[in-house]
Amino acid sequence: MSVLITGGAGFIAPNLISRLLKRGDTVLAVDNLCRGTLSNLTEPLEHPRFAFAKVDLTDLGAYRSCLDGHTGIGPITEVWHLAANSDIPAGIADSSIDLRDTFMTTFNTLKVMAERGVRRILFASSSAIYGDLGERELTEDIGPLFPISNYGAMKLASEAAITAAVESFLESALLFRFPNVVGVPATHGVILDFILRLRDQPAFLEVLGDGTQQKAYLHVSDLVDAMLTIQARATRAKVSAFNIGSTDDGVTVRRIAEETVAVVAPQAELRFGTGNRGWVGDVPRFRYSTAKLQALGWRPSLDSMGAVRRAIREIAAQGRPR
């Protein structure tokens, strides 16, 4: 299989690329390196069935030329679309960021797929599409959906554009709704943020909000495993959405801060803010149903706390991202 991966130099894609190469696929990864870095791809770049191209996917002409210049990988059979803005607060401050990097990358990806007759897409969506539904359990068919961040809005709009494309030219679309994913190579996220701040200022750690925000976390190795399991086992519907996540209630930001301090700067004082939101558009607590995924026989190898602990050690050992 020849696979195109967008957002290939970010955090999650390199983990997926290793698995796809192991499964025997040929992989072309594209990224404009606005948040990712080539050093995240050191291992795949050594592989004979891997190629990388730097391109801004919002520039349709450049996107087309890039694919025309890489016909050596053979006709693309499926696209894993992971490119997006991953800095949610930045997207709140400037809504054009998510329009561009989260939505237009999807829009243009669908356009080049239609032109080239590529008929399968696997999309990195997010729990952010659900907005803040309080204590209601978030199953894949819950609605109506009212996202509370521009990022969530543009992910939901991307899902909508994809389902419309299924009606016109796509054979199938898998919409993976990710939880908070942790691991390396970290490019963003609460653990990386805490570690970088403790390195700059080892005496204290200031936490946004009162630390009671509670979320489920999944290690990136489990996330990739879940996506490949869904692709292999889900019944062949034209469009399927799957929540991916752990089966527990999650971990509070306070626990993450305590665990990070214990590993990185045990003498640091923890200072909390007020309110249970880290930023506008942050959903403080949600009940994520993963029953549909579990029905495929999949379980994560680590619960939220286990994933967080492993990621703290891994991120503490990784160099500072550029």
Q: Which residues bind ligand NAD (CB under 6 A)?
A: 7, 9-13, 31-36, 56-58, 82-84, 86, 101, 105, 124, 126, 178, 180-181, 187-188
* Residues 200, 263: Cα–Cα separation, whole Å: 15
CB-nearer residue toward ligand NAD: 130 or 265: 130
CB-nearer residue toward ligand NAD: 28 or 124: 124
- Angle, helices 304-317/253-264, rounded to nearest 10 degrees: 40
CB of 267 to ligand NAD, least distance (A): 30
CB of 274 to ligand NAD, least distance (A): 25
24 φ, ψ to 5°? 105, 5
* Element holding 322 (H helix, E strand): none
Give the pairing of strands 287-288 and 214-215.
unpaired
CB-nearer residue toward ligand NAD: 204 or 298: 298
CB of 204 to ligand NAD, least distance (A): 26
Which residue lies nearest ligand NAD, judged by its C-beta?
10
* Element holding 291 (H helix, E strand): helix 291-294
CB of 152 to ligand NAD, least distance (A): 10
CB-nearer residue toward ligand NAD: 83 or 205: 83
CB-nearer residue toward ligand NAD: 21 or 57: 57
* Residues 158, 172: Cα–Cα separation, whole Å: 15
CB of 11 to ligand NAD, least distance (A): 3
User: Which residue has 């050594």 as its token pair?
Assistant: 46
CB-nearer residue toward ligand NAD: 90 or 316: 90
Distances (CA, A) of 271 to 214, 258, 264, 283: 17, 11, 16, 21
Burial string for 273-288 (b: 16+ CB within 10 Å, else e) reads eeebbbeebbbbebeb
CB of 77 to ligand NAD, least distance (A): 21
